[in-house]
Structure 1
Amino acid sequence: MASSTIFKAEVLPNDEDLPQMEAADKPVAVGILIQDAMNWRLIETAATQLELRAVKLQVDRLDFAELASFEMIIAEEPYARQIQGMLGERERQAEGINPAIIAVYIGDRPIGPAGYQVDGVLTLPLEPAPLVAQLSLMLYAHRAFARKYHSALEELHLNRRIFRSVTSGISVANAFEPDLPLVYVNPAFEVMTGYCLEDVVGKNCRFLQRDESSQPGLDVIREAIREGREALVVLKNYRKDGTFFWNELSLSPIRNRHGVVTHFVGIQTDVTARVEFEAALRESEKLAAVGRLASSIAHEINNPLESVMNLLYLAQQTDDPAEVRRYLQSADGELKRVSLITSQSLRFYKQSTRPTAIDPEEMLDSVSSMYAGLMENSNVLLRRRYRTERTIVCLESEIRQVLNNLVRNAIDAMRVRGGTLVLRSREAVEWRTGARGVAFTVADTGSGMSAETIRSIYTAFFTTKGIGGTGLGLWISSEIVGRHKGRLLVRSSQRDGRRGTVFVLWLPFEAGVVGRE
């Protein structure tokens, strides 16, 4: 036995590398099920050398709870198969780590696979020293696995605690199933939606949409799921009690070690307050635009009305029917001018609810005509070049708002020194996607913008006009263009001889945008 003791000291790891014993004065138990008394005594002696407490098992008294309590079970091959079957379901259900099961063969071991999985194999008879060495290695391997298992289990429990404690909703969907059913939601999701875990497991999360199945964000989500990538959208969802809320959904794929997407994790945040605030800002910008146009419209209407009054006075002062007819025709032309201005104003402020087909050239003309008087007073020359033949489908009032904002900003940039306003339209291809559409150009020869200003122009409340500006125009314009699947580009220069700014608004022929609620 001396040689066995020496071998043990060389093979076993240091005490600090091993899991702590359940009790300092109580060795870990090993169950032994061997019928031959001599072989049983041999295994018991080896177990004692490894500081294990040997417990003799009875074939007709195998208890599930007792078996699960051992760190190792050493049994003849038929019984090892039986015990492995009893404990296998426990490990598959992640209810704990099973003891190491060692199958013992008496005599020669059969050639070929055993047909089931064990943690080690012993062939008896065997000399004590090799027996202790083999059991020592098997025990060390099992303890190393147990240490990793418990570490992973602790990490899993930590992740679950994190999932349950975060204030944002978390949902996990199974990517292997065709309809991506939910397999988990955290308590914050339950509070946000009113649905408990039992209500949603096995369902696709689209039940939160109810009848809102035509939202633009859903196309983004479907494409992200199809391509296995991240996505961030805002969706209109409904709680269990029927009330709606705006849900900012961040979707991320979870991949296994082979790179295959196994699950999708959704982070839900209730952004109803933010969406309502942004809607209020859009309305305030609409009202601000009314104020900015008020003086221009008043000037444009006042001039033809004064002409009408003068023409009617002249018609009353003459007895020549031909002169009267000529005065009245001129007055009629001025009144038509007033009617055109008012109708264009109504078209600008009438809220679009559905996309309609519009003529790009008519759109630019109607917007620029609103500022004819302002351009004349500011010594701004208008140049136009239109090269479009097709209409575009969009929310008319929103695109008018964007073009109005660009034109007004261009005129404001030239009100001190005057200059040239260039309006162009042409058919163009978006180089990133290959989509065809129309490019609107609004260019001015004003003071230009610095690089720092250009970086901030789409930020809410940023303005270079002091108290005369709201800082919302371009921020809202960029949001409108994005929902129309378009692009808004800008370049500017402050160099002498080349001062000015150019905005290019590209819109697809068929934007596919839907109106707001």
Structure 2
Amino acid sequence: MAELQHILTAASEMKVEPTIFSADGHNIHQLKTFEFIVADRLVAQELVLLFEEHEVAGEGISPAIIAVTRPDTEALPTSHQPGCNFDGLLTFPMTGTQVRAQLSAIMYAHCAFAKRYSDAWRELQLNRRIFRSITAGISVASATVPDLPLVYVNPAFEEMTGYTRAEVQGRNCRFLEGNERHQPALAIVRDALAHRRKGVAVLKNFRKDGTPFWNELSLSPIMDDEGHLTHYVGIQTDVTKRVDLELALRESEKLAAVGRLASSIAHEINNPLTSVMNLNFLALSTDCSQETKNFLVTADRELKRVKLITEQSLRFFKQSTKAQSTSPSELLDPILDLYQSHASNAGVTTDVRERPSRPLVCMESEIRQVLSNLVSNAIYAMQEHGGQLSVRSRECGMWGNGREGVLFTVADTGTGMSAETLSCIYKAFFTTKGIGGTGLGLWISCEIIERHRGTIEVRSSQRPGASGTVFQLFLPYEGIASKTEVADLSRSLRSPSSTLRSVLEH
């Protein structure tokens, strides 16, 4: 009783309201409201274990646990021995002054520790919230365990890959590579791991459902206070759109280079071709057998055909710098000439119907690019089984605004497109041609049509015996739009409400 009285007196002098409770049936939430607890050694040990479980679970700092011991009890482990987690000891007999001094010293140390613990815990919680809110994927791998297993991934990583934290924990992140185990960029990752330094690599990875994506991995080593490597942190960013754009731009540069080369070749062919045609003409005027003249006439006809192709090629690749007046036939004829052999090789017959029309004011090379894309797509749709390519042009008016212009129709009897494909054909990088397509043709075509205040519509069928696709392109006679008009037109370009007043037969 004297010991208890000393403790109560000391607590009162420290301006702490004392509470006496029974060791049986104590509630953890009630106990956590105390600043410190003084108990016999066995009870104190139970409380230490109880509070440690809650601290591991992240439930904050526990009150100071002070064990009471006497000389006649078994020796307690010192603070240097394992298992001794008391915040302090009171070894009786002690005077009231000694108890007060000892409690004051214990509580001073405990409060200082509690403040540091609380600050560290708040910082840890903040870091966790930051990790969970970052939109880039974050993964942490242990460097002290063989094969660098993952020990943490944030929600963005789970969303990006489709794998949950439980599914990836303990695994090396190479499972994201699928069968792509020989990517050149992996050499950057291996070099960074071998030399324990930072590295950035763009890797082809696969989501849980097998969908590929391009992952920009930023790898960084984490050291402890003694400079020993403990972990690797990886930041994953989905850069699929950027990589696709870079690939498309490279492909576009290749196509542009091929176009310039073709134009240069056509230009260089013209001069010697003209000389050969002149020589052939002179040969026809000389005395020679009828059989020889027949050969020369045939040669002259083929030379004229070659000259027509080169002239059409030069016109096709000529870039417009300003709007100019041109007829529908001047837009279509070079394209049909260029694709004639391609269509023949694919077993495609061409049916062309052009009705007289007023000239269009447009960027000639841009509109030719749109029509070329529609014709080439139509031939591609029929390359396996052949078919018929129908090309039409006629004057037409638009409902609602009274604008007049020219309606171009490009139709094929190919396999047709599904509703899902139709909903995606105007999106950048969407293609049905595999590695043979860039997915930019119709996307760029839409931009060109917007600038010319035109519209484009498509209908397609996959019905057996009646499959095919029809594209209809309307261009007003005065078609070049200003920049402010383009913004308004872009919202209604693909709207089903922009219906043509008259529709050409398929």
TM-score in terms of structure 1 length: 0.48
TM-score in terms of structure 2 length: 0.49
